[in-house]
Amino acid sequence: MVKKRVVWICALLGWLNTSRTAHSRGTRHFQIGYKDRLMYIVASSEAQREEWIGALRKLCVNNEQLADKFHSGAWSGGRWGCCGRGPRLAPGCRSTWVTTPLSSESSLPRGSISCEPVPTRTKEVPLVTTPARVVTALYSFQAIEKGDLSLEAGREYVVLDDSGEHWWQVRDGSGAVGFIPSNYVEQKAGLWQHEWYAGDMSRQRAEQVLRQETKEGAFVVRNSSTQGFFTLSLLANSPTGVFQVKHYHIKSRSPGQLYLSERRTFATLEELVRYHRHDSGGLATRLRHWPTRLRRTAPTAGLGHDKWEIDPSELALLEELGSGQFGVVRRGKWRGCRDVAVKMMKEGTMSEDDFIEEAKLMTKLQHPNLVQLYGVCSKHRPIFIVAEYMKHGSLLHFLRRHEKALSERGPLLLLDVCLQVASGMAYLELHNYIHRDLAARNCLVGENYVVKVADFGLARYVMDDEYTSSGGAKFPIKWAPPEVLGYTRFSSKSDVWAYGVLMWEVFTCGKIPYGRAANAEVVEQVQQGQRLARPHACPSEVYQVMRSCWEKKPDARPSFRSVKTQLEKIMDKDH
């Protein structure tokens, strides 16, 4: 009876969508699309979700009339979040899973949604094939876990399954199949194949890299703060003999018409760079070479495509890095080859079972400005949390240690720190994660001033006096907005408030917010509308962004995505 019912449901099935929606947090839900309606389903765990989806897909394998497009976002407020289309039953905007092999079966045929019963196959039906998707490895990757595949930088791989956000199944040139981190590859013939392309490098970081060259004509091309546009950053000699970095916006008249000067347009970015390597064409100097220090560091990847439980015997614990409300943090070596940070959680200070379930999901979060959670030792007491190791420790201590040097560098470096934190938080916001304890002490600094947000989501599971108000609620008072102080209401907008305080910490090089004021005084000041004053080193336009984070009503505060965009535009201005 159950089997017949499932087959009937699958016969109506138009598409299966495993993307996130606004209706639930994490990766436990999926959508089923019917001809006349949608169904949102939430499993009890990620593993159960994958089991259900796999079963449904296999049951649909003979349905010859599946939709070839689906919506990757949720339908909310009269529109689809992915493409902005209005009708609820509007055609999808993204190719469905039906082109992905399920196991040993061939690629699935696809067509349009149908409510007819699944026909019985009496003869072989020609399969619809699509061109193989080929990607190029940007970085080498050494597979460690079973089922993963090693990558060699510059080699090409065929994508078999890209339904996962961070781990894709690919096939290499010898026919070997396995999972690889998706952020280690790009579409064949993409911009990353060019050594002059710097991606999302900020203006401040570009200037730092180019000035270290001390050779006229050093250049990089980077993404502009305006989506889809680019900026050329070029080191040139000034009349006084001092090197200056010039920034040129690459404009687009229409698709396939890029230019720096309207007198000459180019079909591609590659053609534009090639031309200006031989002719300055209005630039301060021609493009001569890219920086030798434009060394691309491989992004952080997890330990494996399905790895979250770590055997403590694989860890060698080294020196202590610090201690806090969670317990002691020590540097460690995983399997003798990878530096990690190991948080040894205080027993009795956290809700362990709930945290372990959450940690499975947190290992899936990957972003250049988030500290990567590799996994946990949950069968060991105390619990170990194994995370990415960041050489220079907490942002708070880094600011205090290097106050003089940072002050001399001017506001752009400090603004870049804020921008990196905003970028990481925008990613958490997109994935419906609330940090609850965003502050300079909970961000870490690595090589080349790379800043990453750490400890996201942990505060919810920790029981510590430092985080307890007079009413018994747990949160850091000086980083808390009115709705948290009064009603313990956490949201992404309460994180935005805390981010404004973090910006203040950055531009004061680690001063204590509200000085020596007691928590009770701070609560009174905030509820009366008093706000932190503009730090001396903070430009007025940056302080305006900071102040917007401290609006009394949560809805009046900007999103992290908006904050990031505003800071990028300020960064791209001449100072």
End-to-end alpha-carbon separation of the chain, Å? Answer: 71
291-325 b/e (C-beta count within 10 Å ≥ 16 → b): beebeeeeebbbbbbbbbebeeeebeeeeebeebb
User: Of residues 68, 148, 416, 437, which has the active-site annotation?
Assistant: 437
- Euclidean distance between CA atoms 350 and 283, whole angstroms: 59
The secondary structure of residue 343, as a DSSP letter, is: E
Phi, psi of 287 (to 5 degrees): -80, 115
Nearest to 450 by CA among 420, 406, 412: 420
What 8-state DSSP symbol labels residue 48?
Answer: H
User: Quick count: other Cβ atoms within 10 Å of Cβ 11?
Assistant: 18
- Quick one: 244 exposed, middle or buried, by C-beta within 10 A (0-12, 13-18, 19+)? middle
CA distance linking residue 570 with residue 573, whole number of Å: 5
Q: Which helix (H) or strand (E) holds 293?
A: none
Beta bridge partners of 243: 237
Is 455 designated active site?
A: no
Cα angle value 386/452/151 (rounded, 5°): 65
Task: Say whether 569 counts as a known binding-site residue.
Answer: no
Distance of alpha carbon 171 from alpha carbon 159, whole angstroms: 7
User: Is the alpha carbon torsion for 223, 224, 230, 236 positive or negative?
Assistant: negative
Report how far residue 200's alpha carbon sits from residue 206's, in angstroms, rounded to the nearest whole number: 10
292: Cβ–Cβ under 8 A, 6 or more apart, which residues? 213
List of residues 6+ apart from 179 with CB closer than 8 A: 147, 148, 149, 164, 167, 168, 169, 170, 304, 305
351 three-state secondary structure: coil
Which neighbouring-strand residues pair with 178? Answer: 170
- How many Cβ atoms from other residues are within 10 Å of residue 483's Cβ? 17
List the beta strands (DSSP E) in 208-242: 219-223, 230-237
Backbone angles phi, psi at 174, to 5 degrees: -90, 0
- Tokens matching residue 203: 């203006």
Give the list of residues 6+ apart from residue 447 with CB closer than 8 angstroms, or none. Answer: 297, 391, 392
Structure tokens at 432: 């419906």
Question: Residue positions in the annotated binding site?
Answer: 343
Question: Residue positions in the annotated binding site for ATP?
Answer: 343
Q: What positions carry a catalytic annotation?
A: 437
